[in-house]
């Protein structure tokens, strides 16, 4: 174990027990010991009043595969495109990428697969110094094998220090393959990225345990440092019509793939599920009580001109379809107004919506944690409040 408890110093006070995010501390015969769950995060070390928890093998990390870190310099972002159009997360990556590359005093490179020069030029206007463009027609449609092969190839050639991709269905599917190929670390779904002032390493910050805690992850001995970044969290960079950059055409030899996409089926349900674009979201939780409550929310959302969201509880109960779910395992949204109806406010829900401009909480329990993040709070019965609200909004709008 990289961390152990010195039994002679341990008084069995159990102070350390709750400090462990991995459940790696157990008590046997009145003494603490560290089990196999230990991730060597060192959180418990300063917690022990006796100083009984120590790091045993600080020098045991594997240096054999360590890459020549000094050879890796730039920041590279994977610019995702769908049907030839650059996805908005790519511009967000250019925003954060620019910030990081400025701090490191290096170039910002974008890798664009399966699109053309006009899209590449857009990326430059949004901040890229260089675009590696691979226009091969075999890359127009997303494909894990082909995409991971090409991206690994350009990373090996250009040796960026940092590689960022969107934590979208596409990024989260193929980027792990790239990290496995390159024998380097990958941090999923980051919500914040910073440069460590001393080491110049990338600090990758992300929620874990259903959003109950945040973790800072580093990849000090391997390059590149790779991360997927949660969409709609980072700000876009500045658009400059006159910015100049270089477009490099990348040649690949017939990208091969063992999987084949036969067809894309677009699914748009009746009421807008496009929570990402919505200005107003009306979301329901366990408090809506059933499908009837969902109907009531739909009417409310319709009157307001908003979309319907849901907490995991309401989705797990089967009252609202998964595509509406907001939170750690659902969507991250930041509308102008978020109205939480009968949602208690578990942390895993809050991480998906707390960046909304205005949050209105309606809940019968005045102690519900949702009120801690609310701009306006209404304690009461939502089956009284919401129909009344819907009626008055309709009147106000002349509907």
Partner 1 sequence: MNIIVCIKQVPDTAEIRINPETNTLMREGVPSIINPFDLHAIEAGIRIREQLGGKVTVLTMGPPQAETSLREAVAMGADEAALLSDKAFAGSDTWATSYTLAQAIKKLGSDIVFCGKQAIDGDTAQVGPETAEFLDIPHISYVKKIEEVTDNTIRVQRLMDEGYDIVESSLPVLLTVVRELNQPRMPSLKGKMAAKKAEIKKMGITDIEADENSLGLKGSPTQVRKIFAPEIKAERKMIEGTPEEQVDNLIKELREIKCL
Of 13, 209, 235, 291, the residue at the interface with partner 1 (CB under 8 A) is 209
Q: Is residue 352 involved in binding partner 1 (CB under 8 A)?
A: no
> How far apart are CB 134 and partner 1 at their closest, in Å?
20
Q: Which is nearer to partner 1, 61 or 295 (CB)?
A: 61
Binders of partner 1 in range 136-195 (CB under 8 A):
144-145, 148, 168-170, 172-174, 176-177, 179-181, 183-189
How far is Cα 324 from Cα 349, in angstroms, rounded to an integer? Answer: 12
Q: Is residue 399 involved in binding partner 1 (CB under 8 A)?
A: no
Of 45, 69, 104, 360, the residue at the interface with partner 1 (CB under 8 A) is 360
Q: How far is CA 54 from CA 20, 181, 216, in A?
A: 14, 35, 21
Here's the x/- map for partner 1, 255-284, by CB under 8 A: it reads as --xxxxxxxxxxxx-----x-----x----
Q: Which is nearer to partner 1, 12 or 380 (CB)?
A: 380
CB contact at 8 A, 257 and 216: no
Other Cβ atoms closer than 10 A to 85? 11
Q: Is 135 left (phi over 0), alpha (psi -120 to 50) or beta?
A: alpha
> How far apart are CB 216 and partner 1 at their closest, in Å?
4
Binders of partner 1 in range 298-337 (CB under 8 A):
304, 312, 322, 328-329, 336-337
Q: Which is nearer to partner 1, 104 or 205 (CB)?
A: 205
Binders of partner 1 in range 7-66 (CB under 8 A):
17-21, 23, 35-41, 43, 60-62, 64-65
How far is Cα 14 from Cα 10, in angstroms, rounded to an integer? Answer: 9
Collapsed DSSP state (helix, strand, coil) of residue 163: strand
**Residue of 345, 353, 265 lying closest to 309 (CA atoms):** 353
The contacts of residue 109 (CB under 8 Å, 6+ apart) are 74, 75, 76, 77, 128, 129, 130, 131, 132, 158, 160
Q: Which is nearer to partner 1, 248 or 378 (CB)?
A: 378
CB contact at 8 A, 332 and 229: no
Tokens 């193929």: give the residue.
174
Count of residues of this chain found to bind partner 1 when the rule CB under 8 A is applied: 109
Q: 19 is written with which tokens?
A: 């400090």
Q: Is residue 69 involved in binding partner 1 (CB under 8 A)?
A: no
CA-based R_g, the chain, Å: 24
Q: Which is nearer to partner 1, 55 or 240 (CB)?
A: 55
> How far apart are CB 44 and partner 1 at their closest, in Å?
10
Q: Which is nearer to partner 1, 50 or 144 (CB)?
A: 144
> How far apart are CB 256 and partner 1 at their closest, in Å?
11
How far is Cα 74 from Cα 131, in angstroms, rounded to an integer? Answer: 12
Piece in contact with partner 1 (CB under 8 A), picked from 129-137, 154-162, 252-260, 286-294: 252-260
Q: Is residue 254 involved in binding partner 1 (CB under 8 A)?
A: no
CB contact at 8 A, 227 and 204: yes
């Amino acid at each position: 174990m990289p961390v152990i408890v010195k039994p002679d110093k341990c008084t069995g006070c159990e102070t350390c027990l709750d400090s462990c995010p991995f459940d790696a501390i157990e008590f046997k015969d009145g003494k603490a010991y560290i089990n196999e769950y230990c991730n060597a995060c060192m959180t418990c070390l300063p917690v022990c009043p006796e100083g009984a928890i120590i790091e045993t093998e600080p020098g045991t990390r594997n240096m054999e595969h360590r890459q020549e870190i000094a050879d890796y310099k730039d920041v590279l972002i994977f610019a995702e495109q769908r049907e030839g159009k650059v996805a908005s997360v790519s511009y967000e990556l250019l925003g954060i990428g620019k910030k990081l590359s400025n701090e490191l005093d290096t170039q910002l490179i974008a890798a664009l697969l399966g699109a053309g020069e006009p899209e590449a030029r857009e990326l430059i206007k949004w901040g890229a110094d260089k675009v590696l463009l691979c226009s091969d027609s075999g890359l127009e449609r997303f494909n894990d094998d082909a995409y991971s092969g090409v991206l690994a190839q350009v990373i090996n050639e250009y040796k960026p220090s940092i590689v960022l991709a969107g934590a979208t269905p596409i990024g989260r599917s193929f980027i792990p393959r790239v990290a496995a190929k390159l024998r380097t670390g990958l941090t999923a779904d980051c919500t914040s990225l910073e440069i460590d002032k001393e080491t110049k390493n990338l600090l990758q910050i992300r929620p874990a345990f259903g959003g109950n805690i945040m973790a800072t992850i580093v990849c000090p001995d391997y390059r590149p440092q790779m991360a997927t970044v949660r969409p709609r969290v980072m700000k876009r960079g500045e658009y400059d019509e006159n910015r100049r950059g270089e477009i490099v055409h990348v040649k690949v030899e017939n990208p091969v793939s063992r999987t084949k996409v036969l067809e894309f089926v677009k699914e748009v349900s009746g009421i807008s599920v496009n929570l990402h674009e919505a200005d107003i979201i009306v979301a329901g939780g366990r408090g809506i009580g059933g499908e009837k409550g969902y109907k009531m929310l739909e009417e409310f959302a319709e009157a307001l001109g908003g979309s319907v969201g849901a907490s995991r509880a309401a989705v797990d109960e089967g009252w609202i379809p998964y595509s509406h779910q907001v939170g750690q395992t659902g969507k991250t949204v930041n509308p102008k107004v978020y109205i939480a109806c009968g949602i208690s406010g578990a942390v895993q829900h809050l991480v998906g919506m707390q960046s909304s401009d205005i949050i209105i909480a309606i809940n019968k329990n005045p102690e519900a944690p949702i009120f801690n993040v609310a701009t306006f709070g209404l304690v009461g019965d939502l089956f009284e409040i919401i129909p009344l609200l819907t009626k008055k909004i309709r009147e106000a709008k002349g509907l």
